[in-house]
């Protein structure tokens, strides 16, 4: 009887490497597919574009590592460019959101439009019965569940992937902890065994965010204003370079106090800051969420959610209104940010989520957000 064929996204990292091993042990015929989503040659035209000590861009290092792993495991590796698709569906969205003063999450959109759409179509051309990735997540009976390793759980970034897109998807390392993943990679002598995990936005990499962004959006410096006293404290380098709750990188002089970004005025080009991370201006008690992708069987009214990836679960109530959800958290939460994903959970299950459209307090939109 012929083996079922799995096409796995090989990123050149340790997680997808070990995921391929797990699939082999489970008896699948495994095929690797490396996605090239960013034009690293264009990157080289810009100041601050990263290269390795050998003068090779990190994307090519990742491909070479993926190839080495596939050769070690005796599985074929194909390579596919999704540069245009990534630009059209992810990077353009990223820039548009920044222009609106919002804080986008391109990883969420990459999963929705590239990894679980364009990638799947390419995998089907290779005869895939299933597709797999190295995500830390689980799928059981069509339900998306948190990973066993809660510190690595990536369901937050999968919140915009539809139920249909999850059909015939495998997450081989979702029930493993990171230390065991690295242990297996070491046992197999894989080049990725001790490779550092990638962090931050994939197309920016290790370089300075502002240096990268100025190639696409011109800086428009303006005033940094204390939202309470209306005192001008310094100059910002462009509103798109800051996010709500940010403390580091503020050009604020004349004070030893810890200042935090609390809001933006696009028309006046003003960045508002406040004193102290528990300042009342940073706290909201509800928000409006749009672009809902719901994965649960029935809509719930009580659950928990995350407004940011590294955030502890927040107890919330949901008020469903046509295509929107009013998310209420009367206990108050700081730095809830327009443009970010709001992801719903019921115990271990991820119920999907949406994008934060508006932040409120006492049923009124916060004027500075």
pLDDT at res. 2: 76
Q: Does one domain contain both 73 and 136?
A: yes
Q: How far apart are CA 260 and CA 243, in angstroms?
A: 10
Contact yes or no for 339/97 (Cβ under 8 A): yes
Residue 247 banded pLDDT, cuts 50, 70, 90: very high
* Catalytic residue selected from 57, 70, 159, 202: 202
Q: Which residue reads 């937050």 in tokens?
A: 156
Q: Does one domain contain both 288 and 266?
A: no
In a domain, 51, yes or no: yes
How crowded is the C-beta side of 324, counted as CA atoms within 13 Å?
11
Residue 40 banded pLDDT, cuts 50, 70, 90: low
Its domain, for residue 288, covers 282-365
Q: How far apart are CA 272 and CA 269, in angstroms?
A: 10
Q: Does one domain contain both 36 and 83?
A: yes
pLDDT at res. 207: 63
Number of residues in the chain: 369
Q: Does one domain contain both 150 and 255?
A: no
Question: Residue 23 sits in a domain of what CATH number?
Answer: 3.40.50.620
Task: Tell whether the model's pLDDT for residue 45 goes beyond 50.
Answer: no
For 106, counting Cβ atoms within 10 Å of its Cβ (0-12 exposed, 13-18 middle, 19+ buried), the class is buried
Contact yes or no for 335/182 (Cβ under 8 A): no
In a domain, 113, yes or no: yes
Q: Does one domain contain both 236 and 299?
A: no
In a domain, 201, yes or no: no
Q: Does one domain contain both 262 and 290?
A: no
Q: Does one domain contain both 70 and 18?
A: yes
Q: Which of residues 18 and 212 earns the better pLDDT score?
A: 18
Q: How far apart are CA 351 and CA 124, in angstroms?
A: 27
Q: How far apart are CA 111 and CA 161, in angstroms?
A: 7
Least confident interval from 19-28, 35-44, 131-140, 255-264: 35-44
pLDDT at res. 214: 85
Q: Does one domain contain both 62 and 105?
A: yes
In a domain, 193, yes or no: no
Q: Does one domain contain both 45 and 112?
A: yes
Contact yes or no for 270/347 (Cβ under 8 A): no
Q: How far apart are CA 12 and CA 315, in angstroms?
A: 37
Task: Tell whether the model's pLDDT for residue 63 goes beyond 70.
Answer: yes
In a domain, 210, yes or no: no
Is 110 an active-site residue? yes
Question: Residue 241 sits in a domain of what CATH number?
Answer: 2.30.30.280
Domain boundary among 146, 170, 187: 187
pLDDT at res. 198: 78
Question: Residue 325 sits in a domain of what CATH number?
Answer: 2.40.30.10
Nearest of 245, 247, 243 to residue 98 by alpha carbon:
243
DSSP string, 260-281: EEEEEETTTTEEEEEESTT-GG
**pLDDT tens digit sequence for 325-361:** 999 999 999 999 999 999 999 999 999 999 999 999 9
Domain boundary among 252, 275, 298: 275
Residues near 78 by Cβ (< 8 Å), separated by ≥ 6?
31, 32, 33, 34, 126
Evaluate the CA torsion angle 93, 98, 102, 103 in order and state its sign: positive
In a domain, 213, yes or no: no
Q: Does one domain contain both 162 and 229?
A: no
pLDDT at res. 129: 98
**pLDDT tens digit sequence for 194-209:** 998 877 666 666 667 7
In a domain, 50, yes or no: yes
* Catalytic residue selected from 57, 110, 287, 305: 110
What is the number of structural domains in the chain? 3
Task: Tell whether the model's pLDDT for residue 314 goes beyond 60.
Answer: yes
Q: Name the DSSP class of 4.
A: P
In a domain, 205, yes or no: no
pLDDT at res. 291: 97
Q: Does one domain contain both 243 and 299?
A: no
Residues near 290 by Cβ (< 8 Å), separated by ≥ 6?
323, 324, 354, 355, 357
Least confident interval from 94-98, 137-141, 214-218: 214-218
Q: How far apart are CA 70 and CA 62, in angstroms?
A: 12
Q: At what angle do helices 58-73 and 14-25 cross, to 10 degrees?
A: 20
Task: Tell whether the model's pLDDT for residue 86 goes beyond 90.
Answer: yes
Q: Does one domain contain both 224 and 128?
A: no
Contact yes or no for 119/9 (Cβ under 8 A): yes
């Amino acid at each position: 009887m012929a083996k079922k064929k799995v096409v796995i996204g090989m990123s050149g990292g340790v997680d997808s490497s070990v995921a391929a091993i797990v699939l082999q042990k489970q008896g699948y015929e495994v095929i690797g597919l490396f996605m090239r989503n960013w034009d690293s040659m264009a990157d080289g035209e810009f100041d601050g574009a990263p290269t390795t000590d050998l003068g090779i861009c990190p994307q090519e290092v990742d491909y070479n590592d993926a190839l080495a792993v596939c050769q070690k495991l005796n599985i074929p590796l194909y390579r596919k460019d999704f540069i245009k698709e990534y630009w059209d569906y992810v990077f353009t969205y990223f820039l548009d959101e920044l222009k609106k003063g919002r804080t986008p999450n391109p990883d969420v959109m990459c999963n929705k439009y590239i990894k679980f759409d364009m990638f799947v179509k390419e995998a089907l051309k290779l005869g895939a019965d299933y597709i797999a990735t190295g995500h830390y997540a689980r799928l059981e009976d069509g339900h998306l569940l948190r990973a066993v390793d809660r510190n690595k759980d990536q369901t937050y970034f999968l919140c915009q992937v539809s139920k249909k897109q999850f059909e015939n998807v495998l997450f081989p390392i979702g029930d493993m902890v990171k230390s065991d993943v690295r242990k297996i990679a070491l046992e197999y002598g894989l080049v990725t065994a001790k490779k550092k995990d990638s962090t931050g936005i994939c197309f920016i990499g290790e370089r300075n965010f502002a240096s990268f962004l100025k190639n696409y959006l011109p800086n428009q410096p303006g005033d940094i204003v204390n939202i309470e006293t209306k005192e001008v404290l310094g100059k910002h380098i462009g509103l798109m370079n800051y996010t709500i709750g940010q403390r580091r990188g503020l050009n604020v002089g004349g004070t030893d106090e810890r200042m935090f970004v609390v809001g933006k005025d696009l028309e006046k080009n003003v960045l508002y800051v406040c004193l102290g991370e528990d300042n009342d201006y940073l706290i909201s008690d509800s928000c409006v969420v749009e672009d809902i992708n719901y994965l649960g069987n029935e809509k719930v009214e009580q659950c928990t959610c995350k407004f940011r990836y590294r955030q502890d679960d927040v107890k919330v109530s949901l008020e469903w209104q046509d295509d929107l959800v009013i998310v209420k958290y009367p206990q108050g939460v700081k730095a809830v940010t327009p443009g970010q994903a709001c992801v719903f959970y019921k115990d271990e299950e991820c119920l999907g989520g949406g994008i934060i459209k508006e932040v409120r307090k006492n049923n009124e939109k916060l004027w500075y957000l």
